[in-house]
Amino acid sequence: MFYNEPLEISTAVWIKMLQDKEVTTENDLKILKLVYESKNHEIRASEIASRLNIPHHGPINLQISRFSKRVIHNTGVQPPLRKDGKPRWWHVPFWDMKNQEDSLGSCVLNL
């Protein structure tokens, strides 16, 4: 499954969310910047963790989840859902390519 369905968040709203310090923290911006600066804006969570000197990608997953929840709360947009009905938090700021043959578990910036 390739999670590339568009979210109903406009560019203007994304700009507002990224500028709002109650929605987007400095740590969120560090992660987003790493993804943006990566080749094709594509990178694995484990590589993000490595570049931030974090020993495991778990804290990156938590950070993205918290950021995504704040974005959804402030926009009122329905988060993308998995088959089991649970939200796909990584899909809020990124296209999730983990199941594409050539993606090797990476994500692509969705903003």
What string of pLDDT tens digits covers the 111 residues of the chain?
445 666 888 888 888 999 999 999 999 999 999 988 988 778 888 999 999 999 999 999 999 999 999 999 999 999 888 889 999 898 888 865 554 444 444 445 555
pLDDT at position 9 is 85
pLDDT at position 4 is 63
- Rounded CA-CA distance 98/103 in Å is 6
pLDDT at position 105 is 45
Instruction: Please report which helix (H) or strand (E) contains residue 42, including its range.
Output: strand 42-43
Give the count of beta carbons closer than 10 Å to the beta carbon of residue 31: 22
Radius of gyration over every alpha carbon of the chain, rounded to an integer in angstroms: 13
